[in-house]
Amino acid sequence: MKSSYFVWPFTIGLIALLAYLFVRFAVWVYKLEKEDKARIRKNIFSVKSIQAIKETFIESLLHHNIFKTNKVLGYMHMSLAFGWLLLIVGGHIQTWVYYNSFSNPVYVPIFFEYFVHNKTGMLFGEALTFTMDFILLFILTGVALAYFKRFYSKLFGMKKTTSLKLGDKFALTSLWLIFPLRLLAESTTASLHNTGGFLTQNLGNRISGFIPATTFEPVFWWAYSISLGVFFISLPFSRYMHIPTEILLIALRKWGVKSKQTFDSFADVELHACSRCGICIDPCQMSSSGVSKNTPASYFLKSVRDKEINSYDALNCLMCGRCEENCPVGITTTNQRLAQRINQANNKQGNFSYLEEINYQAKPDVIYFAGCMSHLTPGITRSMIKIFRKAKINYWFMDEDGSVCCGRPQKLAGNLKAMEQLMGFNKKRIVESGAKTIVTSCPICFKVFSEDYNLGIEVLHHTQYLNRLVDQKLLPVQADNKKVVYHDPCELGRGAGIYDEPRKLLTQIAKLIVTKHEKQDSLCCGGSLGNLEIEATNRSRIAKDVVDELTRTNPDVIATACPLCKKTFIKVASVQVLDIAELIAMSIPEPNERVEKYKDITVLQEELV
Ligand code: SF4
Ligand code: SF4
C-alpha cells in the first residue's frame, strides 16, 4: 500500500479530537450526581442503550425533529450528518473488499481513491464507486444549502440566524471546504487513472483540460486532508461540539438522567449539545415583537457557554417555554435559565411569619387556592365560589382573607430559600386541613403544587375540577351561541400539558373556534411573572400582538384559564376576556339571574382596565 505525508493533518486531527472527547465525556460523567451515576449503572446494559442508539440515528443523523419544523433545514442537516457517515462506512467497505482485510490504517478508507488506481477484479468495484459518488453528490447538495443559509437565512423561512465566533469560523470554513476538496481530489485522480464514477470521472475529464492534473492532484489531496484536520481540531472550540455532545445527551437521558433546577454536569452537557441552529429564535415573542433581540434561548445559551451571562439576560425572559417546545435537541431551556437565576440570586430568607395568623377551616373535602393573581381578577374567585356552592362542595377557600403566595414567583426569580419558606407555611396548612383535593385557579400555583410541594393529595387546576363536576352532573351547564376563542396559558399548556379539559368545557357551553397558535404552539400573553425585567409597555406590546391574532376570527369572547393572562389581555383587548370559570358560572341555568351575573362580570372587567 502506498503511503503519503498528506494524510498526517487528518490523522493528527482525528487523534487529538478523540483524545479530547474521551477526557471531556469522562469528566462530565464523573461530575454527575451520585443518583445519576447509579441510574447509568442500572440502565447502561439494558434495552435503554439500544433505544439511545435508535434515537441517535433518528435525531443526530436523520435530524427528524428539524425536518418536522423546517424541511429544507432538515434536509441540509441530514445530508451533512447522515451523508458523511455513509461516506465513512462506504470507504471502509471499499477498503475491506479491496484489501481483503479488516486491519487497515485509519486513513485509507478516507483517501481510498488516492491509494487504489486499479480496481480490476475488485468485487462490486464499479457499484461501490458509483455509490460513493452518489453519496458525495448528496452531501454537496447539503453544503450548497448551508452556503445559502448563511447568507440568505430568509430562504429557509428563518427571520434570524446566529452569529459566529472565531472557533466557529474555523470549523465552519473547514467543513464547507471538506467535501468540495474531496470532489476535486478524487476527480483529478480519476482523470489520471480512469478510476472515477459518474461524478468524479466526468468532472476530472473536464478539469484536466484546464489545469495540469499531475500538479494539482497532490495539492487537492493535501488541502482535503488539512481541511479535515482543521475541522477536527477546531470542533471542541466551536458550535460543532454539539455533534458528539448530543449523542452523550441522548444516552444520558435514556439512562434516566434528568434536567434539574441547578446547573450541574448534565446541564453542562445540555449546554454544549445546543447546535445554535437558531430554530428557537423566531418562536420567541420577546424577539419577534421587537422587545429584546438577546432573549432567545440560542443567544442565552451561547452567553452561558462563553461565560458572558449577566443578570439582565437571565431575567429578561417570559419563561413561556416556546423555545423549549421548538428545540429539536430537546434542551430544557427554561431550566437552564432558572439555574442561572438561582446562581445569581441573593437567595435571602423572607419574613412570612404573618402567614401563621391565618386560620383554616377543619375537615374540608376540597381546598380552593385562588392565588394572588386571581385576587386581582375577582370575577374568577366569585365564579368559583358560586360553582362550589351550586355543586354543594364542602370546600375551604384557603387564601380568601388575603393572598398567600404559592412560592413559584420566588422560584422563577431564583430565590429558592424564600420559596421553601412559603412552601413550608402553605404545606403545613394544607396537610393539617385533611382535604383530599386542592383546586387552584392559577396555572402558576397549579404547577408549583404539583411539582414541588409533594403534598400527597390530588392537585387540580380548576378546568380539570370543573370537568369533573360537570361529568358527575353536580354542576348543570347550558350552552349559548357565543363564539369563543381559547388562549392556552403557558404554565397550564406547555408547562403542565393540560390542553383538552379547557376545550371540553368550552364546547359544552359555547361555540369554540380555532386560532392559529393552539396548544403547544400557543403564544405567551406577555404578562408572565417569569420576566423580571420587562417594562409594562413592552408587556402590552406582546399582549396586543397576541390579542390581534386571537381576534382574527371575530370571536365574542377570548377565553383563558389563567388570571394573569386575563389581566394582561383586558388592558389591550376590545372584545370581552373571560376565564373559563367565569364562563361556566355564567352558564349555570338560573332563570332571571344569568343575564344579571353576566353584566356583573362585564362591569368588573371594565373597572380593572
Ligand atoms: S436551544 Fe435548541 S433550538 Fe435553540 S439554538 Fe440551541 S439547539 Fe437550536
Ligand atoms: S422562554 Fe419564551 S421568552 Fe424566554 S427565550 Fe424561550 S421563547 Fe423566548
3-state secondary structure of 479: coil
Mean pLDDT in consecutive groups of 10 residues from the start of the chain, 609 residues = 82 98 98 97 96 95 88 92 97 94 93 91 90 97 90 66 81 96 97 94 93 93 98 95 96 96 94 91 93 93 90 92 94 95 75 61 86 89 96 92 83 89 89 93 96 95 98 94 96 96 97 96 94 92 96 96 96 96 93 47 39
Residue 316 cell numbers, joined: 429578561
Fold classification of 353-469 (topology level): Rossmann fold (3.40.50)
Nearest CA to ligand 1 atom 3: 327
Fold classification of 259-344 (topology level): Fumarate Reductase Iron-sulfur Protein; Chain B, domain 2 (1.10.1060)
Q: What is the DSSP letter of 60?
A: I
pLDDT attached to residue 83:
97
Q: Kindly identify the ligand whose nearest atom is closest to the C-alpha of 326.
A: 1
Domains 353-469 and 477-608 share a fold: yes
> What are the sequence ranges of the domains in the chain?
259-344, 353-469, 477-608
Distance (angstroms) between ligand 1 centre and the Cα of 237 equals 18
Report CA dihedral (56, 62, 64, 70) to the nearest 10 degrees.
140
Fold classification of 477-608 (topology level): Rossmann fold (3.40.50)
Distance (angstroms) between ligand 1 centre and the Cα of 408 equals 26
Pocket-testing residue among 299, 323, 337, ligand 2, by greatest number of atoms within 8 A of Cβ: 323
pLDDT attached to residue 118:
86
230 CB-near residues (< 8 Å, 6+ apart): 9, 13, 170, 171, 174
Distance (angstroms) between ligand 1 centre and the Cα of 69 equals 12
Listed in sequence order, the DSSP H helices in 274-332 are: 285-288, 297-305, 311-315, 322-326
pLDDT attached to residue 357:
56
On whether the CB atoms of residues 525 and 543 are closer than 8 A, the answer is yes
Q: What is the DSSP string of 533-579?
A: S--HHHHHHHHHHHHHHHTTT--SEEEES-HHHHHHHHTT-SSEEEE
Q: How far apart are CA 206 and CA 202, in angstroms?
A: 6
pLDDT attached to residue 156:
64
